[in-house]
Amino acid sequence: MNELLIKNACVIDPLRGINAETMDIAIRDGRIVEEVSGAAEVIDAHGALTLPGGIDSHTHICGTKVNFGRYMSPEDMRAGRTPRRGPLHATSGYSVPTTYGNSYRYSVMGYTTLLEGAMAPLEARHTHEEFTYTPLQDTMANVLFDGNWGVMEAIRDGDIKRVAAIIAWTLRAVKGFGVKLTNPGGTEAWQWGKNVSCIRDPVPYFEVTPAEIIRSVVEANELLHLPHSVHLHCNNLGTPGNYTCTLGSLGLIPDLNRKRQTLYATHVQFHAYGGSGWRDFCSKSEPIARFVNMRPQIVMDMGQVMFGKTTTMTADGPMEFNLYRLHHDKWSNHDVELETGSGIIPVIYRRKNLVNSIMWAIGLELALLTKSPWQCLLTTDNPNGAPFVRYPEIIALLMSKRYRDAEFATVHPDTAARVPLPAIERELDWYEIAVMTRAGQAKALGIQDLGKGHLGPGAEADIAIYPLRIDEVDPSTDYRKVIEAFGRTEYTIKRGRVVARRGECLVDGSNATFWVRPKVSDAYDMGKDPDFIEKFDRYYTVRMRNYPVQEEYLNRNRCIETEAAI
Amino acid sequence: MKVTLAMKPGPRSFIPIEAESIVPKNFLAGTDLAVWRGNRELRLDEVFSVSVEGDADRPEDVEVVLSGDDTFRLKRVGEYMDGGKITVLGDIGMHCGNFMSGGTIEIHGNADGWLGREMTGGTILCRGDVADYCASGYRGGRKGMKGGSVEVFGRAGDFLAESIAGGTVTVHGDAGDMAGAEMHGGTLIVHGDCRRPAANMKTGSCYVYGTAQGMLPTFAKNGTVQHEGRTLIHFTGDIANRGKGNLFVKGYKYLD
Ligand SMILES: [Zn+2]
Ligand SMILES: [Zn+2]
């Protein structure tokens, strides 16, 4: 029996409505309990800010495209090297670090759970193998269905239950957690050298539109009773004037789930652009935020851009090709048969660049204009907008008008005429930041019942104690202290064990991977469906029996079974 | 001031010695310097017989002379050098003159890979041959040599002056494959033959006084020019990279 008692913690726990109450937290064998014996080890938090462990609901840390980002950027691998020390492995890399680099750096910031935003089903083994070497966070993966042939055929035939059945079979086979649509239909069109311009463009051959894909997959997702909603990267990422396409996509979504949103729209900053071209490029954060404010069925994440070097990587192949033509630097393009694709390029976001300055402002505006913090979560779409190590700065920008003004003074001078940011007075408080960095993620991913994102009895003892007293620090003026504190916990506790202390990781942990197995009736078991089997054998280059990821690939296996309505 | 570092004979070994401390300005403060052999840190006098004649108070007045049979094991000699002189009476290992900005390095033997990598100024003379990536950028880097000059009296390996962005590289013998690849500034002169010169070049000038083998088809031919008593064929490109660089060759052969 392992017992730990955290005394005098100043707790913010939004899922339980606790806002800055000083209390003790008792932990036994990795779970939070009502009380522990006198023999428990004691940590005195001395009134420091104590939150549930951070959760990143959209990041790219493991898998084939992340790894390609690594090996096409040896210069990035030279940027952040740390030597082997005690139980710690050597790390390297800045925007696409090694798995250990990701894990240690997230841990030092108090993050204990990560969702890989895009896993190609065919290449799932690679993602799971890298999860194994991401020792200090629990992990889960969104599975890409944006260009899945079987799904598109079922949509064309108007058979939503079959869509659900294919998703169920695939999630189970690849040990995935959620359903991801990246530029739905666009990646399939890209196999033909094309793209889709918005949600009404038919996909070549399949003749279904992105709108039909989104609507059908959303319905199928709810038929399967998955913990998470559909996770959407809208069409037309990064193009001027794309906000109308974004509004059109969000407008497709009915309110189908009482416990959580029906759609998670990711990195919306990249989808909130006005103008007819780069010359009149401007922010359209206001109409997007206004729209989301009226629709509880939508949750988005910021996709904040921060100035500096990074690597962009996404399943959105055609978009990366457009970026490549703009930057004319390195480019990787990748096709995943029958399923999806990807593209990768390195970028530098510059303050002196007007477009980059506007992008920076839009992410902050989305967070500040969305009334409920539960509906706009903090991300950079790591590493697309910036590496996750920049999160503390983003927190400080959201909490301090003064910091925003100081930064705004350094960006391109024409930015002020193109964005509403300078007029926004709102400063987020500690509670709202706790929502946007853990509680909101747990709710949006549907993992609070698994004991994630809160500190109630029975919860997983994932806890971050930051070296900061909220009664002593005014974030509006002391934003430097906020950055410092969120960059380096006093203690990061994972499953009841101190894994990081004052910027140093202490142990080589052992994570768990969460995945979903929807239980469907025999009639909808695609493993027994003659048509599905026949098409699989005809088109894939792998045999169907070799396709599923064996459970040995999962380090610590947390299977979530759902009762599907098919 | 003249510092002589004569490598002590020892058992035959190929373990490289990381010697980035061997830079003229470091000897202004004495010879209490260290180098690394594998994971072992060694004092300079454990590896060399060290002798010093005269004194100096600026790097420009320091000459370091390296000698011995094993100097090919020394890596990173002259890294970040900004003045003075290094003379190598033999072969030198990889990464000699990395990032150097001033002074002179003279190598009497051959140089291993990455000689003058990403240098910004100063002069390197190599009397023998150089291996691959002379005066180039490093893996994934966007800029190779940005200034200064490298002159090689022997032959050069592959990827000579890859990503060169400034300065001058002259090779008196032949060069290998991909000479001047990704060139975007500076001047590359190869007196002998080379393969696929100036691939993907953006700007800058590349001269091949011999024959360009495997000449890339993505260069536009602009007739002939007179250059230092030679008649050279002038190409511009690399069109594949929207490049406006100049490639001058004495003769060329396209791939079959
Ligand atoms: Zn995306
Ligand atoms: Zn993403």
Ligand whose nearest atom lies closest to the CA of A381: 2
Instruction: Give yes or no for residue B236 having a pLDDT over 90.
Output: yes
Cβ neighbours of residue A145 under 8 Å, at least 6 residues apart? A151, A167, A170, A179, A180, A181, A217, A339
Mean pLDDT of the region B189-208: 97
CB contact under 8 A, B140 and A329: no
pLDDT class of A509 with cuts at 50, 70, 90: confident
What is the distance between the alpha carbons of residues A506 and A492, in angstroms, rounded to a whole number?
Answer: 10
Q: Quick: pLDDT tens for A207-241.
A: 999 999 999 999 999 999 999 999 999 999 999 99
Instruction: Give yes or no for residue A487 having a pLDDT over 90.
Output: yes
Mean pLDDT of the region A418-443: 98
Strand order, beta sheet including A332-336: A308-314, A340-349, A332-336
Q: How far is the CA of A266 from the centre of ligand 2 (A)?
A: 7
B138, B140, B242 member nearest A73 (Cβ): B140
A90 in contact with B at a CB cutoff of 8 Å? Answer: no
Mean pLDDT of the region A53-75: 95
What is the distance between the alpha carbons of residues A562 and A514, in angstroms, rounded to a whole number?
Answer: 13
DSSP string, B104-159: EEEESS-B-TTTTTT--SSEEEESS-B-TTTT-PPTT-S----SSEEEESS-B-TT
A537 in contact with B at a CB cutoff of 8 Å? Answer: no
Rounded to the nearest angstrom, the minimum Cα separation between B136 and chain A is 14
What is the distance between the alpha carbons of residues B106 and B65, in angstroms, rounded to a whole number?
Answer: 10
Residues of chain A positioned with their CB less than 8 A from the CB of B140: 72-78
Tally of domains within chain B: 1
Nearest CA in chain B to A71: B140
Rounded to the nearest angstrom, the minimum Cα separation between A18 and chain B is 49
B142 in contact with A at a CB cutoff of 8 Å? Answer: yes
Interface test with B, best of A75, A325, A330, A332 (most B CBs within 10 A): A75
Mean pLDDT of the region B121-149: 96
Report pLDDT for B144.
Answer: 95
| E strands in A183-317 | 230-233, 263-265, 273-274, 282-283, 298-301, 308-314
Look up the pTM and report it: 0.92
Determine how β-strand A18-28 pairs with β-strand A31-33: antiparallel
Look at residue B119 and tell me if it is in a domain: yes
Exposed/middle/buried for residue A514 (C-beta within 10 Å: 0-12, 13-18, 19+): buried
B39 in contact with A at a CB cutoff of 8 Å? Answer: no
What is the distance between the alpha carbons of residues A435 and A377, in angstroms, rounded to a whole number?
Answer: 8
> Cα separations (Å) of A337 from A148, A231, A266, B46?
9, 21, 24, 59
B139, B241, B242 member nearest A74 (Cβ): B139
CB contact under 8 A, B138 and A75: yes
Cβ neighbours of residue A565 under 8 Å, at least 6 residues apart? A223, A224, A225
Report pLDDT for A514.
Answer: 97
pLDDT class of A296 with cuts at 50, 70, 90: very high
Report pLDDT for B141.
Answer: 87
Ligand whose nearest atom lies closest to the CA of A382: 2
CB contact under 8 A, B141 and A72: no
> Cα separations (Å) of B147 from A14, B140, B192?
58, 20, 23
CB pairs under 8 A between A and B: 17
Residues of chain B positioned with their CB less than 8 A from the CB of A328: 241-242
HEC profile of A294-352: CCCCEEEECCCCCCEEEEEEECCHHHHHHHHHHHCCCCEEEEECCCEEEEEEEEEECCC
Mean pLDDT of the region A161-180: 97
Core vs surface per residue A484-503: b (16+ CB within 10 A) or e: ebbbbbbbbbbbbbbbbbee
Q: Give the number of C-alpha atoms closer than 13 A to the C-alpha of residue A145, restricted to the C-beta side.
A: 34
A75 in contact with B at a CB cutoff of 8 Å? Answer: yes
Helix (H) or strand (E) run with residue A357 in it = helix A354-369
Residue B159, Ramachandran bin (φ over 0: left; ψ between -120 and 50: alpha; else beta): left
Rounded to the nearest angstrom, the minimum Cα separation between A90 and chain B is 15
B140 in contact with A at a CB cutoff of 8 Å? Answer: yes
Length of chain B: 256
Q: Which domain holds residue B241?
A: 110-254
- B226: β partners: B231
Q: Quick: pLDDT tens for A244-266.
A: 999 999 999 999 999 999 999 99
Q: How far is the CA of A57 from the centre of ligand 2 (A)?
A: 10
Report pLDDT for A328.
Answer: 82
pLDDT class of A80 with cuts at 50, 70, 90: confident
Q: How far is the CA of A213 from the centre of ligand 2 (A)?
A: 19
Ligand 2 being an ion, which residues bring their Cβ within 5 A of it?
A: A 117, 381
Look at residue B26 and tell me if it is in a domain: no
Q: How far is the CA of A233 from the centre of ligand 1 (A)?
A: 5
Structure tokens at A106: 């997230």
- Which top CATH class is A51-458+462-505? alpha beta
φ/ψ of A305, rounded to 5, equals -100, 135
Q: How far is the CA of A205 from the centre of ligand 1 (A)?
A: 24
> Cα separations (Å) of A17 from A14, A434, B85?
5, 11, 70
Q: How far is the CA of A242 from the centre of ligand 1 (A)?
A: 15
Core vs surface per residue A155-189: b (16+ CB within 10 A) or e: beeeebbbbbbbbbbbbbbbbbbbbbbbbbbbbbb
B153 in contact with A at a CB cutoff of 8 Å? Answer: no
Report pLDDT for A495.
Answer: 95
Mean pLDDT of the region B193-216: 97
For residue A383, whether the previous peptide bond is cis, meaning omega lies within 30 degrees of 0, is: yes
pLDDT class of A352 with cuts at 50, 70, 90: very high
Look at residue B8 and tell me if it is in a domain: no
Mean pLDDT of the region B48-60: 95
What is the distance between the alpha carbons of residues B133 and B175, in angstroms, rounded to a whole number?
Answer: 11
Mean pLDDT of the region A46-52: 97
pLDDT class of B62 with cuts at 50, 70, 90: very high
CA torsion A483-A488-A490-A496 (nearest 10°) is 120
Instruction: Give yes or no for residue A329 having a pLDDT over 90.
Output: no
Report pLDDT for A237.
Answer: 94
Mean pLDDT of the region B183-199: 97
What is the distance between the alpha carbons of residues A121 and A342, in angstroms, rounded to a whole number?
Answer: 13
Mean of the per-residue pLDDT values for chain A? 95
What is the distance between the alpha carbons of residues B9 and B23, in angstroms, rounded to a whole number?
Answer: 22
Ligand whose nearest atom lies closest to the CA of A187: 1
Q: How far is the CA of A271 from the centre of ligand 2 (A)?
A: 12
Look at residue B19 and tell me if it is in a domain: no
Look at residue B221 and tell me if it is in a domain: yes
Choose among B199, B197, B203: nearest CA to B184.
B203
Nearest CA in chain A to B243: A328
CB contact under 8 A, B140 and A75: yes
B139 in contact with A at a CB cutoff of 8 Å? Answer: yes
Instruction: Give yes or no for residue B256 having a pLDDT over 80.
Output: no
pLDDT class of A300 with cuts at 50, 70, 90: very high
Using DSSP's 3-state secondary structure scheme, residue B178 falls into coil
Instruction: Give yes or no for residue A556 having a pLDDT over 90.
Output: no
Residues of chain A positioned with their CB less than 8 A from the CB of B138: 74-75, 78
Q: Report percent pLDDT > 90 for chain A.
A: 89
